[in-house]
Amino acid sequence: MLPLQQTYAEALPELSVPWRADLPPDPAILWLNESLAVELGLDPDWLRGPEGMALLTGQIDGTVAQAYAGHQFGSANPQLGDGRAVLLGELIDTTGRRVDLHLKGSGRTPFARGGDGKAPLGPMLREAVIGEFLHAAGVPTTRALAVLTTGERIAPRQGVTPEPGALLVRVAASHLRVGTVQAAAWHHGPEVTGRLVDHVITRHHPSADGPLGLLAAVTGAQAELVAQWMLLGFVHGVMNTDNMALSGEGIDYGPCAFLDVHRNQAVFSSIDRGGRYAYGNQPGIALWNLSRFAEVLLPVIDAEDPQRAVDAATAVLEGFEPAYRAAHARGLAAKLGIPVGAASATGPAGDAIPTAGHAAAPAAGGDDVTALGADLFSLLEAQAIDHTGFFHALTDGDPEPLFTDPDPYREWAVRRETLRGTGPDRASAADAMAAANPVVIPRNLALDSALRAAHLGDPGPVLDLLEAVAEPFAPVPGREHLEGAGEGGDDFLTYCGT
């Protein structure tokens, strides 16, 4: 049996409980991410065998359910946690990186809060598709190693018809969240919070200097992450603090979707009736979450002088907006084919905000690119233009036919050409544009159709979609039907089944 470690559970026993996954009646692998398995140092054939299936279904010793808390839709919930999941353990992958293996849909735990602990097939496949696309697009994200059917029918999340049960085996840098630190602070106090901070720093941000340095590192990582979401038109849908990972990865893809028509207030979640987590609100919500993170760090930032802790944390949080704007400008320059220079984002007092290895700032100047982008997005919204379709057409050279009134676009295009310049960097900028503008994304209607087919016993369409989103930047003959939005995608709703 594969030896797994539990360094988190050993370091913070207060924040997890030993727990074993339910034994599914008839488990079967529906999809195995073979390339990821190889990255993890796991033999796909071994995973399909008896020992591998024991791992993938949680029938191993030493598994735990993690505790966390959080703010859900702005309201504090002191007790959340892995209600239907277990942490299988940690392993070191082939690059030397420590990662978590986590199992969702594995039955009730002490954190289940009345739920059955089960997961339906559709949402588990949705998380796999979204994660694979975001990874292929270069966005830090959790990923699925496998999706298994369990051979049971479970209580429906929608309607009255029982649904096929499923398991998702998830790989993450870790499952440590803002909500994890909130649980430590709210239930255990500064000593446990301090040990947790040390563990997070060691695992994810080793250059961070203490809790204030950790806050700065997480702030920078989240600025980069949300900027990438916005550029791709991704709407997470449920940005609660328990869904903000301290590693900087995206996590928990439940009621998420992608823009078809560009709309700043687009909401695709059935439970977000007030639009709190609308597309255009995501940067502000990220800062709100980071502020809640800062609050629970205050006693370990400066135990002797609370006001000094507040002032220090506030100075770090004030770096989020410039870091976000710089990250967004860099990414937007790439999408628009504007050459980039060597400038970097800075935070308060000139301190570098981590940029996670992304492209340098645009040579034209971040403010120029930001202004150009703001006018573009207003134009796309005013004329109901597809977000992904526009950037793909721009990469090919001629998006003008997309506009019912092309004159505003022509004026905008002149400004873009000015920023692109005529120098030798223009060719490399064009290459960067092709690498930044996907042809295929998990379109709402195509993904929903594929999940419905899988629900009815035909996994073919979702397996095809998984292959397509893994290589999203080039057209693939036979998959043209995955490139467009289809009719009705803007009225699409997703449901929190993950």
Q: What is the β-pairing status of strands 70-72 and 64-66?
A: unpaired
pLDDT beyond 60 at 239:
yes
The answer, yes or no, to whether residue 353 has pLDDT greater than 50, is no
| DSSP string for residues in 225-256 | HHHHHHHHTEE-S---GGG-BTTS-B---SS-
Whether residues 94 and 225 share a domain: the answer is no
Asked whether 242 and 80 are in contact (CB, 8 A), the reply is: yes
Which range has the worst mean pLDDT, 273-277, 297-301, 489-493? 489-493
Integer angstrom CA distances of residue 121 from 22, 184, 365, 489, 494: 17, 33, 47, 22, 14
The token pair at 222 is 């989240």
CB 145 within 8 A of CB 40: yes
Spatial CA neighbour of 18 closest among 82, 60, 57, 64: 64
147 domain-assigned = yes
Domain count, the chain: 2
User: To the nearest 10°, the Cα dihedral for 255, 231, 466, 37?
Assistant: -100
Q: Look up residue 488 and give its two tokens.
A: 């009705």
Question: Per residue in 132-168, is it b (16+ CB within 10 Å) or e — as a string?
Answer: bbbbbbebbbbbbbbbbbbebebeeeeeeeebbbbbb
* Average pLDDT of the segment spanning 275-292: 97
Three-state SS sequence of 316-374: HHCCHHHHHHHHHHHHHHHHHCCCECCCCCECHHHCECCCCCCCCCECCCHHHHHHHHH
Answer whether residue 342 shows pLDDT above 50: no
Question: Is 170 a member of any domain?
Answer: yes
Averaged pLDDT, 245-267: 95
User: Strands 119-120 and 85-92, how do they pair?
Assistant: unpaired
**Are both 19 and 161 inside the same structural domain?**
yes
- Within this chain, do residues 221 and 118 fall inside the same structural domain, yes or no? no
| Residue in this structure with the two tokens 């390339």, named with its chain if needed | 35
Q: Is residue 40 part of a domain?
A: yes
Residue 357 pLDDT level (bands cut at 50, 70, 90)? very low
Helix, coil or strand: residue 450: helix
List of E strands, 112-260: 119-120, 143-154, 163-172, 234-235, 257-258
266 and 287 assigned to the same domain: yes
**What pLDDT band is residue 485 in, cutting at 50, 70 and 90?**
confident
242 classed as catalytic: yes
Asked which of 40-54, 132-146, 294-308, 472-486 is least confident by mean pLDDT, the reply is 472-486
Helices and strands (H, E) in the chain, number of each type: 17, 12
Residue 219 and residue 110 share a domain: no
Best CA proximity match to 137, nearest among 470, 444, 387: 470
* pLDDT confidence of residue 496: 60
Lowest mean per-residue pLDDT among 52-66, 230-244, 475-489: 475-489
Q: Is residue 392 part of a domain?
A: no
Whether 212 has a pLDDT exceeding 90, the answer reads yes
Confidence of residue 160 (pLDDT cuts 50, 70, 90): confident
Residue 486 has pLDDT above 80, yes or no: no
pLDDT tier, 390 (very low <50, low <70, confident <90, very high otherwise): very high
Residue 497's Cβ-side half-sphere holds a number of Cα atoms within 13 Å equal to 24
Reply yes or no on whether the pLDDT at 399 is more than 90: yes
**183 and 292 belong to one structural domain:** yes
Which three-class secondary structure state does DSSP give residue 30?
Answer: strand
As a whole-number percent, the residues of the chain with pLDDT over 70 amount to 93
Pair 32, 161 in one domain: yes
Q: What is the pLDDT of residue 349?
A: 34
Query: Residue 369 to residues 224, 338, 363, 408, 462: CA-CA distances in angstroms?
Result: 17, 8, 10, 17, 37
Q: Are 215 and 201 in contact (CB under 8 A)?
A: no
Residues 16, 164 share a domain: yes
Residue 254: band (very low, low, confident or very high) from pLDDT cuts 50, 70, 90: confident
Structure tokens at 374: 């703001």
Residues 214-235 pLDDT 10s: 999 999 999 999 999 999 999 9
Do 169 and 236 belong together in one domain?
A: no
Q: What DSSP element (H or E) covers 17?
A: strand 16-18
Shared-domain flag, residues 105 and 185 = no
Tell me if 429 is assigned to some domain: no
Classify strands 234-235 and 257-258 as parallel, antiparallel or unpaired.
antiparallel
Domain C-terminal end among 137, 155, 175: 175
| Shared domain check, 114 and 192 | no
Angle of CA points 20, 13, 61, to nearest 5°: 25
Q: Which of 175, 197, 215 is the last residue of a domain?
A: 175
* pLDDT greater than 80 at residue 355: no
Does residue 111 lie within any of the structural domains? yes
By mean pLDDT, which of 416-425, 463-472, 477-486 is the weakest? Answer: 477-486
pLDDT of residue 347: 37
Poorest-pLDDT segment among 27-36, 88-97, 240-249, 480-489: 480-489
Asked if residue 125 belongs to a domain, the reply is yes
- Residue 102's H or E segment, with its range, is strand 98-104
User: What end-to-end distance do the CA atoms of the chain give, in Å?
Assistant: 28
Dihedrals φ, ψ of 344, to 5°? -130, 160
Q: Do 168 and 188 belong together in one domain?
A: no
Q: Which of 242, 272, 302, 386 is catalytic?
A: 242
109 in a domain, yes or no?
Answer: yes
Give the end of a domain, one of 325, 353, 378.
325
Q: Say if residues 191 and 125 touch (Cβ distance below 8 Å).
A: no
Instruction: Give me the pLDDT at residue 459, please.
Output: 97
Between CA 336 and CA 231 the distance in angstroms is 11
The boundaries of the domain holding residue 148 are 7-175
State the average pLDDT for the chain.
92
pLDDT of amino acid 341:
60
pTM, whole model, 2 decimals?
0.93
Angle at 256 between CA 254 and CA 257, to 5 degrees: 145
